[in-house]
Structure 1
Amino acid sequence: MRHILKNVLTLSSLSLLLMSATVMADDAADVGKLLRAGQTNEALQKVDAALAQKPKDAQMRFLKGLILTEQSKSAEAITVFTKLTDDYPELPEPYNNLAVLYASSGQYDKARAALEMAIRTNPTYGTAHENLGDVYAKLASQAYDKALQLDSGNSTAKLKLTLVRNLVGNTTGGTNPKTAALTTPAAVTAPAAKPTVVAAAKPEPEPTKAESKANIKSTPAASPVADREEEEVLKAVESWAKAWSSKDTTTYLAHYAKDFQTPKGETHKAWAEERRNRIEGKGRINVKIEAAKISVDGNTATAKFRQIYTSDQLTANSRKTLNMVKQDGKWQIKQERAGS
């Protein structure tokens, strides 16, 4: 049966979420060629060789998860993506791919939880929203089917089940979650038996200095007061990045509001301790903010920018959004997420 939950990244696309160092980029290109040729075993050997040199490289680990998925080694792929969510909880794509794997084996509750985490990390992640809708439709199908097992004369449940079957293309009635298709009308005729794979957007060209300055404000300043507030927000963001780069965790954590929405719903204390351990455990960190766009509405603000993160083991070039609030005269982070 077909499963339409969408993996992240085409196997022919090397414009991955993370931009690694030149050597790793060359390795990724080689892996892509092997995958396009259907040589998954050779691609896996290439990835393993690269990870032997840099075991923490997120790009190669992500590729390994994709290869294992292609090889129908779901348990191993789940292990890879789960570890990625532990090490890089701010990235939504590993959560999405976990959901694909869980759904393919009928574990829809786990798929739902993984997709909700992807959306919490990046609320604008369209693929995760679509996949979550498919999972909910499948869960609804199972629930209506169970209702009919308990009361075969329930005409309302029959009608609802028929509607859901038409929506998700479920021809088995939802009684077997391991084999029932989970697909949208647009994908019903798709010939592929494997989960659909979608392309990630290519990284945008890095802006020039002139462009960066021009993009600091998202709209023309309405007044000198608004102008000053935007500058204050930008200063707070730059101070946050500077503290992160210098591994000054006390100052770094002070940039977060007391009611900061933690990525996994853990307590603020637990999240702060985990961040402290990860930052202070790095050998070298450099965080640069480019092409910042600031918008202010009273005591709340949004900062969108390109974040260039570099450490001994990873270089990441990604979009970042900070939702901020003014507390005790200081702009602090209420929520952060990857993506535009």
Structure 2
Amino acid sequence: MPSILTEFHLLKARKLCLSRKLLQLYCGTLTLVFIGITPASAYVSPQAIESLLLKGDSKAALAQAESLKKDLSPIDYANTKASALLMLGRWQEAANLLEPLYEKDRANLLVANNYAVALWGMDKKEQARKVLETALNSTSPAYRSLRKIYSAQAAEAYAKALNEKNSAPTPILMAASTTGADLVDKPVVVAQAPKAPAPGPASAPATPSSLAAAPIAQAPKTSPLATPVLEAPPAQVAATEKDTAPSPQELEMITANIDNWVKAWSSKNVKSYLAFYSPSFSPDKGLSYSDWLEQRKQRVAKPGAINVEISIMKVVKSKSKIVVTFRQKYSSANVNTNSVKCLEWVNDKGTWLIAREFNK
């Protein structure tokens, strides 16, 4: 008969064996649990497709994108397939694929670039320009600052070529937030330039230097608005002085002010929005200034999102005023309008401000 000590060792061995089996079973259960929580199919990299694109094999890249459609992330699939379509000159198909992504995220530079390429191929050149400019303006403060520097250098070179004093204002480079937006609250007076000389007889054309002498307060900004048409109004409007196009500096400042006016309005920044209006503003429809002011405060600050988009049609300088005609699209929770409007700007102590606003 086995000794008591032998039985003790046998019992200990059985317990150890049982413990090992339980541990194996536990580990197997954990493995099953981990397998259960692992995604059934993780997205794969589009690198293989991009390699084909870089080699110029667009047809193979298109076929590869289609075969991996279920394994690619939606944006990788759209971008790689659209790139292949663009290389094949299939502009409309690429635009249809990219447009939803662009509308969802207009700051995505890759999507914006490829969408613009598609539009350009469809001969929608102005729309392509707007797409790229909007993307750059919304994501790249460095781009906006560089444009300001280029503009200042061009004005200086132009003045030297004409042996004239450079009357263009020194640009202000804005600080930027993490979202890429310029940190500006209202128009900032840079400096008040000397007053322009008194206009001569009606027959005497305005000189470039006299047109550029008006003081401009708003720091230059690249405007995503459509390029305006500089057009003089009918001859019968001018009585004692011919209407002209504004100078390049004036045009830049006015379009920048309009751009910031639209942004302040769309973002419901009442203080910034009202800062663009002159104290001598004359409201339309017979309203008093105080009634108009209270009405605008309520409407701009009302609950709910609003969206304002404008496209400049023409800019005319008449005497000391600049009149901008534009198409305005406005939408809110309960209002949706599409109209042609006019803003009349005056130089108020060095700052271009709105003196009149009316529908055409």
**Higher Rg of the two aligned structures:** 2
Higher relative contact order (CA 8 A, sep 6+): 1
User: Fold-level match, TM-score > 0.5?
Assistant: no
TM-score normalised by the chain length of structure 2: 0.33
TM-score normalised by the chain length of structure 1: 0.35
